Amino acid sequence: MAISVEEALGLIYSHAKSLGTEIIPIENSLGRVLAEDITALYCLPPYDNSAMDGYAVSISDAGKTLKQSCTIFAGDKDEIRLVEEQCIRIMTGAKIPQGCEAIVPIEEVSVVNEQVTLPTSIKASAHIRLKGEDIQAGALLLTRGTLLYAHHITLLASQGITHVSLFQRPKVALFASGNELKMHYERIESHQLYNTNTPTFVARAEELGCDVLFSGTAEDTMESIQSHIKSTLNADFIITSGGVSVGDADFTKEAFRSLGLETLFESVEIKPGKPTTFGRIGNTLILNLPGNPLAAALCFELFAQSTILSLSGRNDKYINTISTVMGSPFTMKKGRRSLIPGWFNGESFTPSEKFAPGMVLPLSRANAFMMVDASVEGFEQGSSVKIIPTRWCMSSEVQKSLITF
C-alpha cells in the first residue's frame, strides 16, 4: 500500500543517522559538517585597538594644537602612555595607548611641522575597537551539525584553531539496471538508450558532499543485480534506478530482498515516482528510484537528498521551501500529489511548458519544483506557492510542510 510523502520522509529521518567522525585540518573542512561545538579561546579583538589611521587624544584636548610625541604601528609591543598636551600618531589595528580616550581620523586634523590641530568636538571612544567587542572568550561560536562555509573558516582561523572534528562524508554507491541502458561513453544500438540517471545521481550526491562509487549498469537478471548489490554493501547508502515497477523483468526489489532487505516503504502517493522503495540491509540504506529520468531526478531531490542530509549529521537536515508566486497560470489533473518542475527567477515560479516522467530536457531548464496537493486543479498567475530548489540546498532545522495547496 502506498504511503504519503510525509510518512516516507518520516521513515527516512528516523533511520538515516549521522556517521562516524574524523579530525581534519580547517583548510580541508569546507562543505563538511561539524561534529563538535566550537567555543572561543580568545577575545576578538584581543586588545583595544584603533579602527582608523589617526591620532590618539584626550577628550579635553578638543580644539587644541598639540605636539605629536610618537607613532604607534599595528603589532608594536611597547606599552605607551599618552602625555598631557601631546597626541600620538596611530595606525589602524595598533594597540590603544594608556590614557587615550578617542581616535581622531587623520583627515579631521591639520598638521604643520608635527603640530597637530584637533577638531573642536571629539566624541568619547570614537574609532576605538574594544577588546572582545566582536567575540568574547568562552562564547559558543559554532554548534555540532553546522555545515561549514568559507566564513566559518574565517571564524575558526581567528581563534587559531587548526583542526576540527567532522562527521564522515556519506559513502553513496550507485548502479542502474536495464538491458536497454548504456553508459554515455559506450556505443548504443537502435534499441538502446543512454543511462542518464546514474550520472545525474553521481553529480547530485557529490554536490551534497558525498563520496560516491559508481559500480556500473546491471543486466536485468537476478544474478547481475545481486552481484552489484554485494559489491556495494560497504556503502552507507545505495541508490538505484529502474527495475522497481511490476514488469516481468523488474528484478531489483527481488534481488535486494534475497540479500536481506528490510523494506520500510515500497510505494509513495506521488506523481511521478509512485514505485519509489526505501529500506536497509544491515546498516546500509537502500533507495530504489524509478527508471524514468524526470521521475527519478525529482524523487531523488525529495528522498535521496533527505537521506544524505540526515547521514551527513547536519542540524538542518529537513528539506525546506521558498514561498513565491506563480509567474503564469497553470492547470493540472487532480487526484495525486504531483511534482511540477519549473524555473524560479527570484520573484516568481513558472512551471515547465512541457514535461513528462521520461523526459530529460525539462530537468536542464528547471531550477526548482513544487509539490502540489492532490486536490489542486491549477493556479492563477500570482497565486502563492511553495517551491523546492534543485540547484542549491534549501534546508531547515525544523521540519515543515512541503506541500502547495
Q: What is the CATH classification number for the domain harbouring 57?
A: 2.170.190.11
- Of the residues 283, 311, 339, the one at which a domain ends: 311
pLDDT for 342 equals 97
Do 202 and 304 fall into the same domain?
Answer: yes
Do 326 and 398 fall into the same domain?
Answer: yes
208 has a pLDDT exceeding 90 = yes
283 has a pLDDT exceeding 60 = yes
Query: Rounded to an integer, what distance in angstroms lies between the CA atom of residue 221 and that of residue 211?
Result: 28
Do 325 and 394 fall into the same domain?
Answer: yes
What confidence tens digit (pLDDT) does each residue in 94-133 have? 999 999 999 999 999 999 988 999 999 999 999 999 999 9
Please state, rounded to an integer, the average pLDDT across all residues of the chain.
Answer: 93
Do 327 and 290 fall into the same domain?
Answer: no
Please compute, for residue 143, the number of CA atoms within 13 A of its CA located in the half-sphere on the CB side. Answer: 5
Do 278 and 182 fall into the same domain?
Answer: yes
Range of the domain at 195: 5-19+169-311
Percentage of residues in the chain having pLDDT higher than 90? 83
Q: Which residue has the cell 589611521?
A: 53
Question: pLDDT band at 280, cuts 50/70/90?
Answer: very high
State the average pLDDT over residues 383-398: 95
State the average pLDDT over residues 163-183: 86
- Of the residues 253, 285, 311, the one at which a domain ends: 311
pLDDT for 291 equals 85
State the average pLDDT over residues 371-379: 95
Of 172, 180, 187, the C-alpha closest to 242 is 180
Higher pLDDT, 296 or 215: 296
pLDDT for 216 equals 78
Whether the Cβ atoms of residue 168 and residue 21 lie closer than 8 Å to each other: yes
Do 158 and 28 fall into the same domain?
Answer: yes
249 has a pLDDT exceeding 60 = no
Higher pLDDT, 220 or 353: 353
Do 113 and 69 fall into the same domain?
Answer: yes
161 has a pLDDT exceeding 90 = yes
274 has a pLDDT exceeding 70 = yes
Do 11 and 53 fall into the same domain?
Answer: no
Domain at 305, CATH number: 3.40.980.10
The domain tally of the chain equals: 4
Secondary element (H or E) of residue 212: strand 211-218
Do 244 and 260 fall into the same domain?
Answer: yes
Higher pLDDT, 267 or 178: 267
Question: pLDDT band at 244, cuts 50/70/90?
Answer: low
- Go through the chain and tell me how many residues it has: 405
State the average pLDDT over residues 255-276: 94
DSSP state of 304: I
Domain at 154, CATH number: 3.90.105.10
Please compute, for residue 21, the number of CA atoms within 13 A of its CA located in the half-sphere on the CB side. Answer: 13
Whether the Cβ atoms of residue 368 and residue 322 lie closer than 8 Å to each other: yes
Query: Rounded to an integer, what distance in angstroms lies between the CA atom of residue 284 and that of residue 297?
Result: 21
Residue 129's DSSP bridge partners are: 49
248 has a pLDDT exceeding 50 = no
What is the grid cell recorded at 15? 533511520
Do 211 and 303 fall into the same domain?
Answer: yes
- Of the residues 311, 335, 370, the one at which a domain ends: 311
245 has a pLDDT exceeding 80 = no
Query: Rounded to an integer, what distance in angstroms lies between the CA atom of residue 117 and that of residue 108?
Result: 9
Residues in Cβ contact with 358 at an 8 Å cutoff, skipping those fewer than 6 apart? 292, 293, 294, 295
250 has a pLDDT exceeding 70 = no
193 has a pLDDT exceeding 80 = no
- Give the range among 182-196, 213-227, 247-261, 385-399 with minimum mean pLDDT: 182-196
39 has a pLDDT exceeding 90 = yes
Please compute, for residue 237, the number of CA atoms within 13 A of its CA located in the half-sphere on the CB side. Answer: 30
Of 216, 225, 193, 207, the C-alpha closest to 297 is 207
Query: Rounded to an integer, what distance in angstroms lies between the CA atom of residue 338 and that of residue 78?
Result: 70
Do 256 and 390 fall into the same domain?
Answer: no
Query: Rounded to an integer, what distance in angstroms lies between the CA atom of residue 242 and that of residue 293?
Result: 10
